[in-house]
Amino acid sequence: MGTKTWNQQVVKKNNKALVFQMIIEKEPISRADIAQISGLNKTTVSTFVTELIEEDLIFESGPGVSSGGRRPVILHFNKNAGFAIGIDIGVNYVLSVLTDLKGNILIEKNQPLTRTTYATVMGIVQDMIQSLMDEMPKSRYGIVGIGVGVPGIVNNEGTILLAPNLGWSNIQFKEDLEKLYEVPVIIENEANAGAVGEQQFGAGQDNENILYISAGIGIGVGIIVNKELYKGINGFSGEMGHMIIDMNGKRCNCGSRGCWEAYASEQALLEMADENIDSLETLIQLAENNDKKAKSLFEDIGNYLGFGMNNIINTFNPDQVIIGNRLALAKKWLEAPIRNTIETHTLAFHQNDLQLNFSKLGKYSTSLGVSAFVVDNFIKG
């Protein structure tokens, strides 16, 4: 193939992708509006629109409002052309969702996790995927991909190098799932996925620079800079649960001492609680019943969360910090100590324009984030 022909094909593909993206973002929209906004000529736009209709990716509806002359035919994104599966693997749960191409949850499966061996988790994930596929509505493209969020270090190739709280190292989850289902599989750190979930569908939709604090059994941070997920050179960014806040402190599952997550996570909270208390939900119920010990524990964890957040706010100067994952369930008792710690310790000029919010998506931040990665991969083809 000659260079000229190849270049023409690249330009055509890029222009078609531009038209498609515009319909997704600005629907309902007409061909004329697309041509005007994109700068492409009307014939080119019509050609791409015809192709996208034939591919079932968009559809037409009745005429829109006329600005003089014929009323334009309106175009819409076909969000039901295919479906994505998003899976969030926690230390004590697996949550999976089936979404349409706009990120709306159609079906969900949730299962507590008592053993975290790879074989056990893989078995649960396979059962969930099969169940979602069996219940999925009919569509042109079926499952367009599977996304999985894991609490660990994932490289750019999708290998889980280390997930200390699961007891995993060098796990080829992507490879194993792609062999089974023959669809694209994306593996991502759960905090990164949670950040994207909140940015696209939740509390972070209006901001460009966001820190998402995933506070569960461990702690991870997803970093959005200028509306883009920041991953670092190898994909390892955001492991701030392992910044040291006490150099001679408590042992952490990563093998070090004094890590932030050893003091501010759900695991730390349960270690500080009485022996007969085995879950965050039990502590929340006690606090609801005005139990002083439970409320005091949440205050301690809130202070520790605030100390770590102080460090990263002073480092990144973000527009917004979003607190998500399971500890966000205890917002009622955590918010005041977190805010108080930040107000007391964080440099004043960082606080002026800072928004501090709890997750809007609740338990779905990560599963919707990995689902969004899958959909984006499908749309960009």
328 is a domain residue: yes
Structural domain boundaries, residue 22: 3-77
Residues 211 and 184 in one domain: no
Q: Do 329 and 226 fall into the same domain?
A: yes
Pick the closest to residue 156 from 199, 202, 111, 189 (CA basis): 189
pLDDT of res. 70: 64
The pair phi, psi for residue 91, each rounded to 5°, is -80, -30
* Residues 238-286: tens digit of each pLDDT: 999 999 999 999 999 889 999 999 999 999 999 999 888 989 999 999 9
**pTM of the predicted protein model:** 0.92
Q: Is the domain of 178 the same as that of 314?
A: no
Is 224 inside a domain boundary? yes
Number of domains in the chain: 3
**What are the Cα distances from residue 21, in Å, to 248, 371, 378?**
52, 17, 12
Reported as type and span, the H/E element at residue 163 is: strand 160-163
Residue 343 sits in a domain whose CATH number is 3.30.420.40
- Tens-digit pLDDT profile for residues 279-321: 999 999 999 999 999 999 999 999 999 999 999 999 999 999 9
Residue 198 is assigned to a structural domain of this protein: no
Same domain, 29 and 136: no
Same domain, 100 and 236: no
Which residue among 77, 99, 116 closes a domain?
A: 77
Sign of the C-alpha dihedral, residues 122, 128, 134, 139? negative
Ranking 12-16, 136-140, 375-379 by mean pLDDT, the lowest is 12-16
Same-domain status, 37 and 100: no
Statement to judge: residues 356 and 370 lie in one domain? no
Final residue before a domain boundary, out of 52, 77, 102: 77
Residues 212 and 152 in one domain: no
- Are residues 152 and 65 part of one domain? no
Q: List, for residues 82-104, the tens digit of each pLDDT value.
A: 999 999 999 999 999 999 999 99
Residue 89: inside a domain? yes
If residue 17 lies in a helix (H) or strand (E), which one and from where to where?
A: helix 3-26
- Where residue 48 sits, what CATH number does that domain have? 1.10.10.10
Residue 304 confidence (pLDDT): 97
- Asked, for residue 283, whether it belongs to a domain, the answer is yes
